[in-house]
Chains A and B, each alone.
Chain A
Amino acid sequence: MHKLKVMLVDDHAVVRMGFKLLLESCVDIEVVAEADSGEAACQAYEAVAPDVVVMDIAMPGMGGIEAIKRLAAKHSHVRILALSAHEDISHPMRALQAGAMGYLSKRSAPEVLMDAIRALAQGQRYVDAQIAQRIALQTISGDKSPVEKLSAREFEVFTQLARGQSVAQISDTLSLSSSTVGTHLYNIKQKLGLSNQAEMTLLALRHGLIRVTD
């Protein structure tokens, strides 16, 4: 049976040890590498080729957010689950904007870590329920709801994209050609002023259009 390869990145050895013990109790997950800094994670990534990177965002040196940005820029299919002990929304939002596919607070991490890793491995997004609720509630930026700016079909494509679906998956689901979905994607980005799929997820979360935790 193929096991999910996970790389743990955290500057606290005791945290890595705890997570490793947790993950090794699951039959389908194995910790293939550990790193104690963002720099070390970037160096080791290619050789290790993990399915999921579990990354603490508060680390000395370049820090987790910068490491996420670099990995996402270099490896388009990298799946990073960001973690932090911050109970606010800026840290998760920054991590997701940087290119992380999932986010957990360390409070909930031990219970849901395995679920999150499995979801990411399948190409889905995963955001801590409490964090998702906070992001959905905050109405700070004052931007209009995407519903008002997009056509019905565009909105449909938008919610799929925000859930982490690929263009190919969407064209299957909606019975559209992939070039049509690509056109919709382009228009959505233009209308909402977004540059990547992570930002769509955040926007959708903020307006309560999707729930990622189910």
Chain B
Amino acid sequence: MSLRLQVNLIITALMAIFASVLIGLQIDNTRRSVHEEVVGANVVATQLLSRMQWVYGSSGLAGMADFLNQVGRIRANEVELRDDQNKLIFNSPPSAYKVGRQAPDWYTSIVSPPLSPKEIRLPNGRLVLHADASRAVLDGWDDLRPMLWMVLAGFVLGNAVVYALMGRALKPLHHVVQGLRDMADGNYGIRLTALTGREGRQIGAAFNHMAQSVQDSIEAKRQAREAALALAENRELTQIIQNRIELERGAISRELHDELGQQVTAIKSVGLVIARRAAGNDPAIEQSARLVINCADQIYDGMHRLIAKLRPLALDHFGLHDALRDLLGECQLQHPHLVINAHLPESLDTLDDALATAIFRIVQEAVNNALRHAQAKHIEVRMSVAAQSLQLEVVDDGAGVVLQFESSGRYGLSGMRERAQALGGSFQLNQVHPTGVWIQVNLPVIRKPAHA
């Protein structure tokens, strides 16, 4: 049921109660006055006629009839004169007041006083008096009728006015409902304007504020989604570039080792043979041969420095465990006083190439930072591998300051972070007290595809 109909019904009901009370009072009033009038008239007539029989009794019923004829109608009473045989001798004439009109029966039955006919005994007949309230009732009815019309008109008019006013008052609500429907259909740009009334304006302002919030929030979500997408693409690209770089480095590394390295070994061997054969016979040739051997050694060393920088071949041959062991072993060799503790599970060898490479590079960078920039005396490398994720920690006791690392943009920090994030992992740098840096990397485990 609409609000408008409800209000109309309430108004109608209130008006009905009010009108009923008014009409009830009016009817009661009329009933009292009719009662008073008719009963009064009846008593007067009865007394009058009772007296008259003394005067006209001697002249018999005919005399009585003459008298009554002369008197005519006695106010609100019907008078009948009957003889002993109950034959009607006289009946008073009908009232000349509002001839032919009657109040409705229902009204008459409410208003008429309950009066029984009165009989006056005559020597050979009787007078019967009926109180006739019909004229008085009709007067009352005539008074009441305009009032009923007025009530009816009031009903119609009142309802019409209330209906119109409610329509006006509820107009803002229709706008609001329409606005909400539009929003539900996805039209978040909708705004309510020119709502009338104080509440209307408040509702309008609140609605617009809400719509703006919804629109902003949807826009923010869309932007966040786009940003996330862009970031994911960026990381994917980073990953692809890193992979390509690693592939290239691996290829160069292998080429250096497999071809150049072998040739240098051969040169050195032959040089040594020549030097030994010439020893004692031809010092010039021996010296030249020694020179060739030295050159070969230098090429060999230079080549291995390059290989170590490019990509450790152990990573491809034996996996992450051995590659890390080599890396840390080399550090130990270069820094004899450094204490390295490493906990590396054997299960590292089945990790996916890209993942293994990323971990290797992160450890390499972290150790490099600890030694080169922080002069660490103690480095700890810990790895633990669970079914779904692996954790890498590199802790040193060097002079590295995390805040300085973070703000300088140096020390390969963004590279380490990028590598971790490109593989769906996280990278964290913590300060250790009193000195040191603690790197924590969490990565989802990706296993090498099983050999076909």
Contact = CB atoms under 8 A, between A and B. Distances in A.
Interface of A: 10, 12, 14-15, 17-19, 21-22, 25, 58, 85-91, 93-94, 106-107, 109-111, 133-134, 137-142
B313 A86 contact: yes
B268 A138 contact: no
B329 A140 contact: yes
Contacts of A110: 265, 268-269, 271-272, 293
Interface of B: 257-258, 261-263, 265-273, 276-277, 293, 297, 300-301, 304, 307-308, 312-314, 317-318, 322-326, 328-330, 332-333, 336, 340-344
Contacts of B297: 107
Given A90-B318, A134-B329, A107 B300 contact: yes
A133 B293 CA distance: 24
Q: Is the interface of B mostly helix, strand, loop or mixed?
A: helix
A15 B313 contact: no
Nearest to B256: A85
A85 B304 CA distance: 9
A141 B332 CA distance: 14
Contact of A91 (B258, B317, B332, B343): B317
Contact of B332 (A25, A109, A138): A138
Nearest to B322: A90
Contacts of A111: 272
Interface centre among B258, B266, B269, B312 (most CB of A within 10 A): B269
B55 to A, nearest CB: 153
Given A85-B257, A109-B265, A140 B325 contact: yes
A12 B265 CA distance: 10
Contacts of B313: 86, 88
26 contacts: A12-B266, A14-B266, A15-B265, A18-B270, A21-B270, A25-B277, A85-B257, A85-B262, A85-B300, A87-B307, A88-B313, A90-B317, A91-B317, A107-B297, A107-B300, A109-B269, A134-B330, A137-B333, A137-B336, A138-B325, A138-B329, A138-B332, A139-B340, A140-B329, A140-B340, A140-B344
Given A21-B269, A88-B330, A140-B329, 14 more contacts: A14-B263, A17-B266, A17-B270, A22-B269, A85-B261, A86-B313, A88-B313, A88-B322, A88-B326, A89-B325, A90-B323, A106-B262, A110-B265, A141-B344
A96 to B, nearest CB: 13
Nearest to A16: B266
A94 B314 CA distance: 10
Interface centre among A12, A22, A107 (most CB of B within 10 A): A107
A138 B327 CA distance: 10
A19 B265 CA distance: 9
A58 B277 CA distance: 30
A134 B329 CA distance: 7
Contacts of A22: 269, 272-273
Contacts of A10: 262
Contact of B314 (A91, A134, A139): A91
Contacts of B276: 25
A134 B328 CA distance: 10
A58 B257 contact: yes
A160 B114 CA distance: 145
Contacts of B269: 15, 18-19, 21-22, 109-110
Nearest to A130: B333
> What 6 A-B pairs come out closest when comparing CB atoms?
A18-B269, A90-B322, A85-B261, A88-B326, A138-B329, A18-B266
Contacts of A88: 312-314, 322, 326, 329-330
A134 B344 CA distance: 18
A142 B342 contact: yes
Contacts of A19: 269
Contacts of A109: 265, 269
A91 B344 CA distance: 18
Contact of A90 (B262, B325, B340): B325
Contacts of B265: 15, 18, 85, 106-107, 109-110
A24 to B, nearest CB: 9
Nearest to A137: B332
Contacts of B317: 90-91, 94
Contacts of A106: 261-262, 265, 300
Nearest to A20: B269
A35 to B, nearest CB: 16
Contacts of A17: 266, 270
A139 B378 CA distance: 13
Nearest to B315: A90
A165 B269 CA distance: 31
Given A85-B265, A90-B314, A138 B328 contact: yes
A17 B266 CA distance: 7
A141 to B, nearest CB: 8
Contacts of A15: 262, 265-266, 269
